[in-house]
Structure 1
Amino acid sequence: MKRIGTIFIILVILYSTYYDLTIGTLPNGLSEVTEAVAESVTNSDTTEETMTNVELDPFQEVMVEPGHTVLSIVEHLHEGTIKATIQEIVYDFQELNDGIRPEEIQIGKTYLFPVYR
């Protein structure tokens, strides 16, 4: 009887692994969003002209204080949840600040931070 139980448990684990690797466990909405983001990244890399036509969201100028990060400042500028991903926030910050990466911000300097609606 123990052998049958052990075989059954092994079969369940193998089926679960197979299902997770082939079909996945994410809801369809999340996988569609991932595909859309991947397509937009490849499309934005191909043409530089489309980047100049894209209007940036509003922004706010903020002086960086000790302990601040780009994400903490953007979160502070919004009352509720932010509808942008971390990658979008980083990209928008770099676009607003002439390519300065979030790791390069300095205390006491003023930078433009994106505001999402």
Structure 2
Amino acid sequence: MKKLLILAFVIVTISSLYYDLTIGTLPGKNDQVAIADDIQPEKAGSNELLQDPIPFQEVIVEPGYTVLSIVEHLHTGPIPATIQEVIYDFKQLNNGTEPEHIQIGQSYYFPLYDS
């Protein structure tokens, strides 16, 4: 009987650890980001004419650079935008070009944010 209780305790502990590490139980920033992801495309489509133009800078992509590394390089200090906002703004500025599809030697528009 004792072995059965120990086995059940170990199984419950392992499954709890797995759940906490993969999904989590505490509300955090990820929960807010998921909500923002669901709302952002609808918001952009519904009031696209009301939005202020996004300030940008044109940059020629060099080997090893990503959209996020270039945007970080253009700013001094932390960027006051989430990764999802940077990606969304990049797509808006570059006619829907996915950040994964940027090519070396091509110029793209990268969003600038006020600190």
Report the TM-score when normalising by structure 1.
Answer: 0.66
- What displacement does 1:39 show? 2.4
CA deviation map 1:48-98 (0-9, x unaligned): xx1121113321222223333322211111222223333322221222223
Aligned-pair CA distance for 1:106: 4.2
Distance in 2 (CA, whole Å) between partners of 1:36 and 1:90 is 13
Alignment of 1:90-109 (within 5 A): 90-102=87-99, 103-107=101-105, 109=106
What's the Cα RMSD here? 2.9
Matches within 5 A, 1:34-49: 34-45=34-45, 47=46
Task: Name whichever structure is richer in helix by fraction.
Answer: 1
Q: Which runs of 5+ in 1 are unaligned?
A: none
Deviation at 1:5?
1.6
The count of aligned residue pairs is 109
| 3-state secondary structure, aligned to 2:57 | strand
Shift in Å at residue 40 of structure 1? 2.9
Matches within 5 A, 1:1-117: 1-13=2-14, 16=16, 24-28=24-28, 30-45=30-45, 47=46, 50-102=47-99, 103-107=101-105, 109-117=106-114
Give the SS at the match of 1:27. coil
User: How much does 1:29 deviate?
Assistant: 5.0
Q: Give 1:13 deviation, angstroms.
A: 4.2
* TM-score for the superposition, normalised by structure 2: 0.67
* Distance in 2 of aligned mates of 1:98 and 1:10: 51
From the superposition, tell whether residues 104 and 7 of structure 1 become closer, same or farther in structure 2 (CA, over 3 Å).
closer
